[in-house]
Amino acid sequence: DQQVKQNSPSLSVQEGRISILNCDYTNSMFDYFLWYKKYPAEGPTFLISISSIKDKNEDGRFTVFLNKSAKHLSLHIVPSQPGDSAVYFCAASAQGAQKLVFGQGTRLTINP
Amino acid sequence: NAGVTQTPKFRVLKTGQSMTLLCAQDMNHEYMYWYRQDPGMGLRLIHYSVGEGTTAKGEVPDGYNVSRLKKQNFLLGLESAAPSQTSVYFCASKQGATDTQYFGPGTRLTVL
């Protein structure tokens, strides 16, 4: 049973526009959420996170929104740049849990 | 400061052969993890360790064994490789107090 789902395997966005990546979860015990970015032939790198006590967290061009009632989070990238082309994974954990649960990933392509 | 390193980067095995993947981290992290990444499946946790001398099963542990004899090293073993174990394997580590995992560059394993 997939507890964290990224229903869009791929997304294509024009350079300079907004990219919105979505993630849904089913486990109501999850209280910490992260986004990782992965380039080909490299390991995932941490991008941004959010705790369940917040509904928004910003870091430069990246903003993560959390809607706890809908069990949904999204990552906004504004403006999108060619270097943002990568696979993005969302992940979640429950307080005290030692593990992260990852979604399937979304491949983002930024077109010039 | 190398972070998380994985050895080897690539390996081809025949069905039934055995091998060990090595993960090393120089950040003095307590927690270490082994994941596999398959197309459309995201990152799935194989085994993890919360400290030297401890190991625990993750989501997909069958066919794998692990050992954490030293704090900085986490070994993943395949006793009798099967084609279903063809995958990219990632190691990660983290500090106990945060949920930010740092990933190695990955090992691409092919089992013929």
Distances from the Cα of B26 to the Cα of A101, B2, B70, angstroms: 25, 7, 12
Nearest chain A residue to B107, by CA:
A41
pLDDT attached to residue B1: 67
pLDDT tier at A98, thresholds 50, 70, 90: confident
Closest chain A residue to the Cα of B42, Cα to Cα: A104
Secondary structure (3-state) at A94: strand
Collect all residues with Cβ–Cβ distance below 8 Å to A83 and sequence separation of at least 6: A110
* Residue B59 DSSP label: S
Of B40, B42, B48, the CB nearest to A102: B42
pLDDT tops 70 at residue A8: yes
Cα B50–Cα B51–Cα B52 angle in degrees, nearest 5: 145
Q: Is A9 on the interface with B (CB under 8 A)?
A: yes
Interval A78-91: pLDDT, tens: 999 999 999 999 99
pLDDT at B97: 57
How many whole angstroms separate alpha carbon B11 and alpha carbon A100? 27
Mean pLDDT by 10 residues, chain B (112 residues): 92 96 95 94 94 94 96 96 97 82 96 96
Coil, strand, or helix at residue B84?
helix
Residues B111, B86 contacting (CB under 8 angstroms): yes
pLDDT of residue A2: 81
- Confidence label for A97 from pLDDT (cuts 50, 70 and 90): confident
Query: Is there a contact between B106 and B38 (Cβ–Cβ < 8 Å)?
Result: no
Please provide the average confidence, as pLDDT, over all residues in chain A: 95
**A16-66 tens-digit pLDDT:** 999 999 999 999 999 999 999 999 999 999 999 999 999 999 999 999 999
Chain B CB contacts of A93 under 8 Å are 99
Size of the A and B interface in Cβ pairs below 8 Å: 51
Question: What is the distance between the alpha carbons of residues A28 and A3, in angstroms, rounded to a whole number?
Answer: 10
> What tokens appear for B59 in the block?
């989501």
